[in-house]
Chain A
């Protein structure tokens, strides 16, 4: 049985496969799908994967995630594969790209950074110094961010 089939196939929506094992909840948070009344979501966690050993899978019904939303995932699931599903079939495959700068996706965590004043209107900007290992730095204060904790600073 394909691991994608542990949950029912969806008619329309987005399927995100190859999420690092245990990170599906963070992905939902990153996509801001963890709050309010959202679309039906199926989640599979820690299932065997040929490529990754173990992985998580998410299926989001009736919602096609756009590229900007997907690029947020680069921080925690850079190798995830994304399929847009229409009428039970894969209509489009999308790739996740880690840009050179993250604008208004995550806040700098440093308590003395100028961006900590929420009334300051300019966008939060973090520079990607390297992707493997992931190294991300605030474009204003220059502090390196703790990549594991960045999910707590999502805007």
Chain B
């Protein structure tokens, strides 16, 4: 019921409702008010792969709403002894009311949802999907542009393994976005995703060149070339630094254009971009808190009030 595995689990209307709820929860996310909507509830935070923002923002989101968090990491747990995901999930099912899972294997979130009764939120499954990131990305885009409709969005970098771009592109085309997909040939968006996007009637332009599309973009979504997904280092080195966005590249950009990045960044986004009006990536990282609060409430069937004092 309350699972969120891919963006297909949410209708456009539900997406808007969740973003509205997240907006209402902003003062709680900032710590300016306290609203224990999730008191007595326990979140299982299951990270089988590294995470900074996702793990911490889920934990903050749960705690700011009065809930408790159980953390599992693969180091020091029976996962290291070879326990199956199925067995681990049976334990989590018994110990918590909702679970967030990140796993290096693709399909792990759907598998977990099939294995247990509690709601599962996918926080990244291999190179698959990352829908809670997409929700905070949409929150950030709507915050800046006032709407999600009909935007010109550039996605840059590792579109093959970059799960954030997989989920975000699915969501954006449903709101009529025009996508420019910028990547080296070896890291193009997987064909099944491009074919799905086109079946939604999306206008998609795939290119290897970044600079010429900047002036028409409403959003530039930069991503890191993910070293950990490459089978060998030589292949990684060939494409590691192909895209580097610098403040000087932005002279022709629209004033209202925003630059996003799921972070962490390496060299693709120069620190001199941070002080420009376009930079929204740190705000985006904070937005994980109110958005994930709203998603936890949805998962647990708790209604968010229309107004928070």
Interface residues of A (CB under 8 A from B): 108, 110, 112-117, 119-122, 137-144
Which has the most chain A C-beta neighbours within 10 Å: B103, B115, B128?
B128
Which has the most chain B C-beta neighbours within 10 Å: A139, A142, A144?
A142
A-B residue pairs, 9 tightest by C-beta: A140-B107, A141-B107, A141-B106, A114-B107, A114-B105, A114-B108, A144-B192, A114-B111, A140-B110
A139 & B86 in contact (Cβ 8 Å cutoff): no
Q: Does B114 contact A (CB under 8 A)?
A: yes
Query: What residues of chain A lie closer than 8 Å to B6, measured between beta carbons?
Result: 142
Contact-residue size bin, chain B (C-beta under 8 Å from the other chain): 20 to 34
A139 & B84 in contact (Cβ 8 Å cutoff): no
A120 & B85 in contact (Cβ 8 Å cutoff): yes
CB-defined A-B contacts under 8 Å, sample of 14: A113-B105, A114-B105, A114-B107, A114-B108, A117-B105, A119-B82, A120-B111, A122-B111, A122-B115, A141-B106, A142-B6, A142-B106, A142-B129, A144-B192
Interface residues of B (CB under 8 A from A): 6, 82, 84-86, 103-108, 110-111, 114-115, 125-129, 191-192
**A142 and B111 alpha carbons, distance in the complex (Å):** 12
- Determine which of A112, A139, A144 lies in contact with B105 in the assembled complex, contact meaning CB atoms within 8 Å: A112
Query: What residues of chain B lie closer than 8 Å to A119, measured between beta carbons?
Result: 82, 84
Query: What residues of chain A lie closer than 8 Å to B107, measured between beta carbons?
Result: 108, 113-115, 138, 140-142
Q: Is the interface of A mostly helix, strand, loop or mixed?
A: loop
Query: Distance (Å) between the CB of B81 and the closest chain A CB?
Result: 12
A143 & B192 in contact (Cβ 8 Å cutoff): yes
Which has the most chain A C-beta neighbours within 10 Å: B84, B103, B127, B191?
B84
A-B contact sample (15 more), CB < 8 A, given A140-B108, A142-B192, A143-B192: A110-B106, A112-B104, A112-B127, A114-B111, A117-B85, A120-B84, A120-B85, A120-B86, A120-B111, A122-B115, A140-B106, A140-B107, A141-B105, A141-B128, A142-B107
The number of inter-chain residue pairs (CB within 8 angstroms) is 61
Query: Distance (Å) between the CB of B9 and the closest chain A CB?
Result: 13
**A142 and B122 alpha carbons, distance in the complex (Å):** 14
Query: What residues of chain A lie closer than 8 Å to B105, measured between beta carbons?
Result: 112-114, 116-117, 141
**A140 and B129 alpha carbons, distance in the complex (Å):** 11
A114 & B85 in contact (Cβ 8 Å cutoff): yes
Given contacts A114-B108, A121-B86, A137-B192, contact A142 B128 (CB under 8 A): yes
Query: What residues of chain A lie closer than 8 Å to B86, measured between beta carbons?
Result: 120-122
**A141 and B127 alpha carbons, distance in the complex (Å):** 9
Given contacts A137-B192, A140-B111, contact A117 B106 (CB under 8 A): no
Given contacts A121-B86, A122-B86, contact A113 B114 (CB under 8 A): no
Tell me the nearest residue of chain B to A123, going by C-beta.
B114
Query: What residues of chain A lie closer than 8 Å to B127, measured between beta carbons?
Result: 112
Query: Distance (Å) between the CB of A110 and the closest chain B CB?
Result: 7
Tell me the nearest residue of chain A to B113, going by C-beta.
A140
Query: Distance (Å) between the CB of B33 and the closest chain A CB?
Result: 40
Query: What residues of chain B lie closer than 8 Å to A110, measured between beta carbons?
Result: 106
Query: Distance (Å) between the CB of A54 and the closest chain B CB?
Result: 32
**A137 and B6 alpha carbons, distance in the complex (Å):** 15
Query: What residues of chain B lie closer than 8 Å to A122, measured between beta carbons?
Result: 86, 111, 114-115
Query: What residues of chain A lie closer than 8 Å to B84, measured between beta carbons?
Result: 117, 119-121
Query: Distance (Å) between the CB of A118 and the closest chain B CB?
Result: 10
**A42 and B153 alpha carbons, distance in the complex (Å):** 60
Given contacts A120-B84, A122-B86, contact A112 B126 (CB under 8 A): yes
Query: Distance (Å) between the CB of B199 and the closest chain A CB?
Result: 10
Query: What residues of chain A lie closer than 8 Å to B191, measured between beta carbons?
Result: 144
Query: What residues of chain B lie closer than 8 Å to A121, measured between beta carbons?
Result: 84, 86
Tell me the nearest residue of chain B to A115, going by C-beta.
B107
**A141 and B114 alpha carbons, distance in the complex (Å):** 13
